[in-house]
Structure 1
């Protein structure tokens, strides 16, 4: 495929030395570039889809921008998750105290067991 792109971008023209009858397979594909190109066209390759240097650079830039955006989003999500969990830790004692007080008021005594779980007193 690279050779096809090279051919099209440089507007080169290959010629077959063997009357355009070359067999193209994995082992002989580099023997005749003309027949290889013709086989690509016969199998549906579109020459219009080959990018020129400017288009290729624009595509690379877009890919890099998207990578950067995804990385920034990942970092933002990580920071947000970290800040939320640190706030939860900050207010954990207050939340536990309010929950225990509420349970005493409604006459269902609870105690904290196993990191954040409440259990009825027996």
Structure 2
């Protein structure tokens, strides 16, 4: 594929020395560039999809920007989750006190069970 891109970008024209009858396989693919290119076209390769240097660099830049954005989003989510859990622990005792006080005022005595839930006193 690399040689095909090279051929198209530089607008080179290869010619076959053997009347376009070369067998192209893994071991002979570098013998005749013309027949190799023709085989690529026969197998569905589109010359319109080959990028020039500017397009290739723009694509690389876009890929790098997307990687950077994904990494920043991952770090933000991690920081947010960490700070949220530490803030919950920080205010847990205060929330428990306020909830217990509220329940005493409205005459529904509750007690904390398993550090998470409130249960009516018997």
For Structure 1 versus Structure 2, the TM-score category normalised by the shorter chain is 0.7 to 0.9
- Could you state the TM-score of these two structures normalised by the residue count of structure 1? 0.81
- CA distance change for structure 1 residues 31 and 114 in 2, over 3 Å: closer, same or farther? farther
- Could you state the TM-score of these two structures normalised by the residue count of structure 2? 0.81
More off after superposition, 25-34 vs 52-61:
25-34
Offset of residue 103 of structure 1: 6.5
Offset of residue 102 of structure 1: 6.0
More off after superposition, 15-24 vs 109-118:
109-118
Equivalent residue for 2:53?
Answer: 53
Aligned residues: 122
More off after superposition, 52-61 vs 104-113:
104-113
Offset of residue 104 of structure 1: 6.5
Taking only aligned residues, the RMSD between alpha carbons, in angstroms, comes to: 2.2
Q: Secondary structure at the match of 1:111?
A: strand
Whole-Å Cα distance in 2 between the matches of residues 27 and 115 of structure 1?
71
- CA distance change for structure 1 residues 108 and 28 in 2, over 3 Å: closer, same or farther? farther
Tell me, which stretches of 5 or more residues in structure 2 are unaligned?
A: none
After superposition, the C-alpha distances for 1:9-62 in whole angstroms (9 at most, x for unaligned) are 111111111111011112221111110100011111111110000111111111
Equivalent residue for 1:118?
Answer: 118
Q: Secondary structure at the match of 1:88?
A: helix
